[in-house]
Amino acid sequence: MTIQLVCWDVHGTLIAPHNDEVRDDVDSEPLRLRDGALECLAYLRSKDITQVTCSDSDLGNLKRDLKKVGIETGFFNDLFQMPPHQPKDFTYIKEEYGKEFGDILVIGDNYGIDLKLAAQQGCRTLHVPESSGRIKLEGLMRIIE
């Protein structure tokens, strides 16, 4: 199995976990990029692997928050808005890109919402729990290579 598509959760995964609540108010706490996130995004780009977001945030807020932490939306081929507070179903993304579930890697911080259904569908998953503090490039490389 070769990973051809990576689906990133954003709040709690790319953006540090203390910012994982979806809020519409203005800057109650400064947003911070999770350690290792930019390095992982750049690595996947260097491998020509398609990257998309799979966030349950409003797309306007998502774009704003990514910009605030210094992530250009150009890293992503698409920004997908998933239904809030529900397990994420990757069928639409799979069909949109003409991939098999086994070609997809889903990266998220919340196992029940971000990863459980993905794993059941046959996607590869990478859990980045709050307690880890960073996204480890070495772990990502082991899955990709």
CA distances from 136 to 10, 13, 50, 141 (A): 16, 12, 19, 9
- Amino acid letter, residue 103: D
Sketch the domain layout of the chain as residue ranges: 8-19+30-144
Higher pLDDT, 107 or 130: 107
Has domain 8-19+30-144 been given CATH number 3.40.50.450? no
**Structure confidence at residue 47 (pLDDT):** 95
**Structure confidence at residue 9 (pLDDT):** 97
77-126 pLDDT per residue, tens: 999 999 999 999 999 999 999 999 999 999 999 999 999 999 999 999 99
pTM recorded for the entire structure: 0.90
Q: Say whether pLDDT at 20 is over 50.
A: no
